[in-house]
């Protein structure tokens, strides 16, 4: 399965990439929302892990663009913002799940498995 990880923090991106690779996932890593949109168009990931606070395009803007081209692609939001409003906004924006950072890796794996096509 090919995952796209949109995460601007290099430490979080590296850690998640390494751990997901060890579990057998192919991971396409991006550091901003625009790269996430472009790689979604060009490399057809099976699922996206999307940070919200990113440069160039934030996660909200990237999700909106991705939804316009791949409306059924599963997107799991990973965010340090754990407010109920953010969770509701993410789900209303088309995310299939919302996980707070720091990410519980076992919960992340379960969520990926549940939403993988």
Q: For 9-28, what is each residue's pLDDT tens digit?
A: 999 999 999 999 999 999 99
Residue 117 pLDDT > 80 = no
Residue 91's pLDDT is: 86
What local confidence, expressed as pLDDT, does residue 84 receive? 67
Banded pLDDT at 65 (limits 50, 70, 90): very high
**Both tokens assigned to 84:** 């109920």
Percent of the chain past pLDDT 90, that is, above it, reads: 80
DSSP 36: H
Contacts of 19 (CB under 8 A, 6+ apart): 105
- pLDDT (tens digit per residue) in 72-85: 999 999 988 766 68
Q: Could you give the 3-state DSSP secondary structure of residue 45?
A: coil
Which domains, and CATH codes, for the chain? 30-95 (3.40.50.2300)
Q: Is the pLDDT of residue 92 over 90?
A: no
Q: 100: which DSSP letter?
A: E
Q: What is the pTM of this model?
A: 0.94
Contact 45, 115 (CB under 8 A): no
């Amino acid at each position: 399965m090919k995952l796209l990880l949109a995460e601007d923090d290099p430490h979080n991106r590296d850690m998640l990439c390494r751990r997901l690779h060890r579990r057998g996932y192919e991971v396409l890593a991006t550091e901003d929302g625009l790269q996430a949109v472009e790689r979604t168009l060009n490399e057809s990931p099976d699922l996206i892990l999307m940070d919200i606070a990113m440069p160039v395009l934030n996660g909200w803007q990237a999700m909106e663009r991705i939804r316009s081209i791949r409306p059924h692609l599963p997107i799991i939001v990973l965010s340090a913002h754990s407010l109920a409003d953010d969770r509701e906004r993410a789900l209303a924006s088309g995310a299939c799940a919302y996980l707070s950072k720091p990410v519980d890796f076992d919960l992340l794996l379960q969520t990926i498995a549940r939403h993988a096509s």
